[in-house]
Amino acid sequence: MAEKYIALSEETSGYGTNVTQNDRICYKILNESIHTVREDHFPETVETWTPGDYVRGPFRAGGDISTLVDSYQFPKILVFHLGDPSTGTILSGVVYQHVFNYGGTEGVSTTGLKSFTIFKGTGVEKDRRFDGGIVTNLSVEARAREAVAATITVVGNGKETLVTASGANYVRYSGQRYLSFADATTMTVGGTDRLATDPVIEAFTIELPRNYDTDHYRLGSEYMADQSPSGIITPTGTMDFGFKSQDEHERFLSIVGGTSTGPQSGHITVLTLRGDVISSGYYDQITFSLPETYHTASENALTARDRIVQTVNYRGNYHSLSGHAVQITVQNKTSSYVTLTNAL
């Protein structure tokens, strides 16, 4: 039966290879905008005022996928975007830790950045299959009073095929749940706890872009060529603070305790979102860590007698001792993310 869904399947045989609807990961989505664009040519000649010729041009595909964040299915997106994690055993047979790094020397490979086939069910007749998918941006938002959500921006090579409709196979692991703003157990900026110490944080967002040359086509094909990273990437984001202290504005100007503009030192930023208990003392959780963060803007505008909220823009730099710009650490009951299937 035709259903509405989005599913991803790793292209293990190479970029843009046809993948069946088996062995895929189905996601519950909030919304999506995946579509195909064709760029045909209509040459303007001297013959008439209106072009009368048609030449087939290249295709491209892509859009955004918005979904909720949990500590089981969401990390599979990280595998596509960041590569295989370094996995270690915390409690044998029960608790495992998966460490993903961003901003070092990642490359496209069987263990690195991965391409995938996108399946889109619309609930009408046949499903749509998009080949050669890659993640070009990942955005995560944790805001007070809201569920933690992620937006994944993807690009396909332009080849779309209508395939037999298939039902979505959503998998729920034992103990799996989506995370919310209330699950933040650690939020430190420069080593200071911003969950309890003013200015207290109210929202945290992070963007992890990945640059590809999406105009990379070759002779003999109307579809985008296989991809490798191209250009610099920089993690960015925002933090909102209740403005009861000027500490984070001082950090933006120069240093906490300072009174004027000056050089700024990089500082570590850490957010941990904790789910339910796995075993005594161990929880499902996701930690975002930026070892060298810089505030790039600080706004605390006044509106009548309204409460003041400070918005800080930040960026992350590559930290040579850490070997990354961002590290995402996942703790859960999954022993491996090498085989990307719906199975635990």
Model confidence at 243, in pLDDT bands (50, 70, 90)? very high
Model confidence at 344, in pLDDT bands (50, 70, 90)? very low
The mean pLDDT value for 127-154 works out to: 96
Quick check: helix, strand or coil at residue 253? helix
Beta-carbon contacts of residue 47 (< 8 Å; ≥ 6 apart): none
The mean pLDDT value for 240-252 works out to: 96
pLDDT of 29-48, one tens digit each? 999 999 999 999 999 988 88
Answer whether residue 175 shows pLDDT above 90. Answer: no
Beta-carbon contacts of residue 74 (< 8 Å; ≥ 6 apart): 67, 150, 286
Strand 95-102 relative to strand 326-332: parallel, antiparallel, unpaired? antiparallel
Q: What is the pTM of this model?
A: 0.94
Answer whether residue 237 shows pLDDT above 90. Answer: yes
Answer whether residue 343 shows pLDDT above 70. Answer: no
**Is 271 exposed, middle or buried, given 0-12, 13-18 or 19+ CB atoms closer than 10 A?**
buried
Cα–Cα nearest to 187, from 289, 306, 311, 78 = 289
Dihedral sign of CA atoms 336, 175, 101, 113 in order: positive
Any idea which residue has 């996701």 for tokens?
Answer: 286
How many Å apart are CA 150 and CA 78, to the nearest integer? 11
Answer whether residue 238 shows pLDDT above 90. Answer: yes
Q: Output the six-digit token pair for 38.
A: 């064709």
Instruction: Answer whether the bond into residue 75 is a cis peptide, omega within 30°.
Output: no
Beta-carbon contacts of residue 263 (< 8 Å; ≥ 6 apart): 254
**Is 136 exposed, middle or buried, given 0-12, 13-18 or 19+ CB atoms closer than 10 A?**
middle
Report how far apart, in Å, the C-alpha atoms of 284 and of each of 69, 98, 206, 330 are.
12, 11, 20, 8
Report how far apart, in Å, the C-alpha atoms of 255 and of each of 16, 197, 251, 261, 310 are.
49, 17, 4, 9, 17
Strand partners of residue 147: 180
How many Å apart are CA 343 and CA 161, to the nearest integer? 26
**Among 16-20, 27-31, 241-245, the range of highest mean pLDDT:** 241-245
Q: What is the pLDDT of residue 23?
A: 74
Q: Which amino acid is at 93?
A: G
Q: What angle do CA 126, 128, 134 make, to 5 degrees?
A: 165
Answer whether residue 342 shows pLDDT above 70. Answer: no
Q: What is the pLDDT of residue 21?
A: 66
Cα–Cα nearest to 312, from 300, 323, 297 = 297
